[in-house]
């Protein structure tokens, strides 16, 4: 299959960007796709989510960006689980690189060029997790990608950030990367009980079309817990709604795969139980 390079991007923090990048990358690997996750954020949250400490003395993306003779394959590390998932870890040194790189316009396409070498063609997917703020590394990530997936928290203010993100993608497409396109919009933290969440979904459909809307990621505490255990949702809580939701997203994105993982068959879809009114009987005096 032809290699796909996608970035999970949104200017608004707290939208589940890193969580989605990590779990979609893991899901693709479970579906048999050789996948590389690239952590471009100085906070190192994607790396931490898969068990890589930002304080460990390991090669990182920073080492490749500052050394023109280095290759991306020099810093790629295998993830313990799943088997076909690999990572380019981040480093807190990227914060300094963000400031240094702005002075040199030649560095703008450095990341994109790293992906185009012959030794990188063995990967079916390259999934990029950029910083949540628009800066050098954020723009580099868009230049290096061919697809954008925009995670959107189903809250009111998210619609404004979505509009801004779409405008930015169009701008990069028109000026720097003509191959860049929006693959889908991913609603996160969805709760059926909240009326506003339904209105946000309706607005996305009206403005972008139903085909652009990816399967919903329901609010699930197991998704938030998984990074603390240094693994993805499919390993931490394979019987959760979160695992089922992200598997659906992966299958939709790829279009020709099945995400299989231990415990998937044990997922129980909870049905709403009817409310039973309690009947109180008055006690009669004897």
Residue ranges per structural domain of the chain: 4-266
Could you tell me the pTM of the whole model?
Answer: 0.91
Contact 90, 60 (CB under 8 A): yes
Q: Which pLDDT does position 285 carry in this prediction?
A: 53
> Could you tell me if 7 and 169 are in contact, meaning their C-beta atoms sit under 8 angstroms apart?
no
**What's the order of all strands across the beta sheet hosting 125-129?**
77-78, 85-88, 35-39, 125-129, 4-8, 147-153, 181-188
Please report how many Cα atoms fall inside a 13 Å half-sphere around the Cα of residue 207, on the Cβ side: 13
Burial class (CB in 10 A: 0-12, 13-18, 19+), 248: middle
Q: Residue 272: what pLDDT?
A: 46
Percent of the chain with pLDDT over 70: 91
Nearest to 30 by CA among 267, 240, 233, 269: 233
- Taking alpha carbons only, the member of 241, 220, 223, 248 closest to residue 233 is 223
Assign domain 4-266 one CATH number from 3.30.365.10, 1.10.240.10, 3.40.50.1820, 3.40.50.300. Answer: 3.40.50.300
pLDDT digits (tens, 9 = 90+) for 128-154: 999 998 888 999 999 999 999 999 998
CA distance 68 to 81: 31
Q: Does position 194 have pLDDT exceeding 50, yes or no? A: yes
């Amino acid at each position: 299959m032809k290699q796909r390079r996608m970035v999970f991007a949104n200017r608004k923090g707290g939208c589940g960007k890193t969580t989605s990048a990590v779990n979609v990358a893991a899901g693709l690997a479970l579906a048999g796709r050789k996948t590389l996750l690239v952590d471009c954020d100085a906070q190192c949250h994607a790396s931490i989510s898969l068990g890589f400490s930002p304080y460990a003395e390991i090669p990182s993306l920073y080492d490749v960006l500052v050394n023109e003779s280095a290759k991306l394959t020099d810093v790629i590390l295998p993830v313990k689980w799943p088997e076909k998932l690999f990572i380019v870890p981040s480093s807190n040194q990227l914060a300094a690189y963000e400031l240094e790189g702005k002075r040199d316009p030649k560095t703008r396409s450095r990341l994109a060029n790293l992906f185009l070498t012959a030794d990188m063609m063995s990967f079916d997917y390259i999934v990029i997790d950029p910083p949540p703020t628009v800066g050098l590394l954020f723009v580099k990530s868009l230049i290096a990608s061919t697809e954008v997936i925009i995670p959107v928290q189903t809250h009111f203010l998210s619609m404004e950030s979505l509009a801004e993100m779409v405008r930015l993608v169009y701008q990069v497409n028109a000026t720097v990367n003509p191959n860049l396109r929006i693959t889908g919009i991913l609603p996160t933290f969805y709760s059926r009980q909240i009326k506003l969440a339904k209105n946000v979904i309706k607005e996305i459909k009206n403005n972008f079309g139903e085909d652009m809307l990816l399967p919903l990621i329901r609010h699930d505490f197991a998704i938030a817990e998984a990074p603390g255990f240094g693994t993805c949702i499919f390993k931490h809580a394979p019987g959760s709604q979160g695992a089922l939701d992200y598997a659906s997203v992966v299958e939709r994105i790829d279009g020709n795969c099945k995400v299989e993982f231990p415990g998937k068959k044990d997922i129980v879809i909870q049905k709403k139980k009817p409310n039973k009114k309690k009947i109180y009987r008055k006690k009669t005096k004897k």
